[in-house]
Amino acid sequence: MRESMPTTTVLVTGGAGYIGSHTVTRLLQQQYKVVVFDNLSTGFVEAVSPDAEFIQGDIRDRRLLSQVLGDYKVHSIIHFAAKLNVKESVQQPLEYYENNVLGLLSTLQAAQQAGVENLVFSSSSNVFGDASSEKLIDESVVKLPINPYGRSKLICEEILKDFSRTTKLRHAILRYFNVAGAALDGTNGQRTGNAYHLVHVAAQAALGKISEVDIYGSDYPTADGTCVRDYIHIEDIAQIHILALQYLLNGGPSQDFNCGYGRGYSVAQVLAAMQKVSQNEFHIKTAARRPGDSPWLVSDSTKLKRLLGWQAEHDDLDGICRSALAWERRFGP
């Protein structure tokens, strides 16, 4: 249905980040016009396609954001811009509430002023907290976040729902589980030097960029005692954003979607997979549990498949590790 639609200009906040920049590439491939708005606090301008317009700015600067929305006649927003490190959120909770919650409020106020009617929101499985009693987590599972990052995202979800009830704005909330890997053409991947995502850390260890990998807790109530997560390839998560945007453009009502493959891998299994594909054993150290970590988070993506027609294309842990390793090897020392 995309071919029959007029050209749509999409503002991507946080579009210089890991997931945002991959999504920008997909949007451009689908012939959308794209404006990236990012303060580069954690993003990289090098990750942004030269075919997109780039504006350096902070989403809390509502005056600038409103000006950009008006100048570029933005029709839809994909909102990534947020802080997202669970460990850091425990240490600096006020920064997470200030950045994530006030950032969304500013974006919604600017959107309302500009008449924007579609918004795709980047949320997180952290809103569910310790949902280890659920084999698969669907959208109806009770949301009880156990860290400030998860709470900030849940607050944003509720604000977005309240706002949509009183305005013309329709939204799609996408709750990521664990996004990993790199673009299959080798052009983009995780650029952060101080890695904290497990697959990224493991790739750095496999190439000797770091000396060891910590396992934070080996006494969780899982098969091998390490935390279990649903790892989804960055290419698949980027495509979900395109489908969510098309869903809204086609008139779909506001919805929330859990995004994963519906299968979990433990920390120990991920590290073993990286050692296998890299053919390099690296040192693994068991450390104490981190505050705010849930033992088990695995998505039920039935609703995503039913309403958006999404089909996973890269559901392969070894493949995720290979793409991350290839990018890390290319990216530099």
Which positions are catalytic? 149
Instruction: Indicate the angle between helix axes 18-29 and 234-249, nearest 10 degrees.
Output: 60
Helix (H, G, I), strand (E, B) or coil at 323: helix
Enter the tokens of residue 65: 């954001």
DSSP 15: T
Q: How far is the C-alpha of 294 from the C-alpha of 73, rounded, in Å?
A: 42
Which residue(s) pair with 10 in the sheet? 34, 76
What is the rounded radius of gyration, in angstroms, for the C-alpha atoms of the chain? Answer: 19
Nearest to 169 by CA among 52, 75, 48: 75
**Are 65 and 59 in contact, with CB atoms under 8 Å apart?**
yes
Please check whether residue 329 is in contact with residue 190, taking contact to mean a CB–CB distance below 8 angstroms. Answer: no
Among the listed residues 57, 2, 46, 4, the one whose alpha carbon sits nearest the alpha carbon of residue 28: 2
- Which amino acid is present at 20? G
Q: Are 195 and 204 in contact (CB under 8 A)?
A: yes
Distance CA 178, CA 200 (A): 12
Task: Annotate 85-136 with DSSP letters as a single string.
Answer: -HHHHHH-HHHHIIIIIHHHHHHHHHHHHHT--EEEEEEEGGGG-S-TT-SS
Question: Residue 172 belongs to what H/E stretch?
Answer: strand 170-176
DSSP letters of 232-248?
A: EEHHHHHHHHHHHHHHH
Please report how the helices 198-206 and 267-278 are oriented relative to each other, as an axis angle in degrees rounded to 10.
Answer: 30
